[in-house]
Amino acid sequence: MELLGHTLEFIGVILIAYTALRVHTRVQKDHKIDNAVVDEMKKERLVGILGIVLIVLGYVLQVPSKL
């Protein structure tokens, strides 16, 4: 049961991160903001992707101990 809870939490965190990245991408494509903001959003997008990778890696490392 603990593994199920951990897995559902993992999926939820990934969905939230993915949604935030999609919003950044959509705003960047609209170009209704200045270039400085677009540049900052590109940096945030990279940090967000790194965050997702770390979340996945952490999950993969923790699953064996839950089995």
Whether the CB-CB separation of 43 and 28 falls below 8 Å is answered with no
In tens, the pLDDT along 17-67 reads 999 999 888 887 777 778 888 888 888 889 999 999 999 999 999 999 888
pTM score > 0.85 for this model?
no
Give pLDDT, residue 10.
95
Domain boundaries, the chain: 2-66
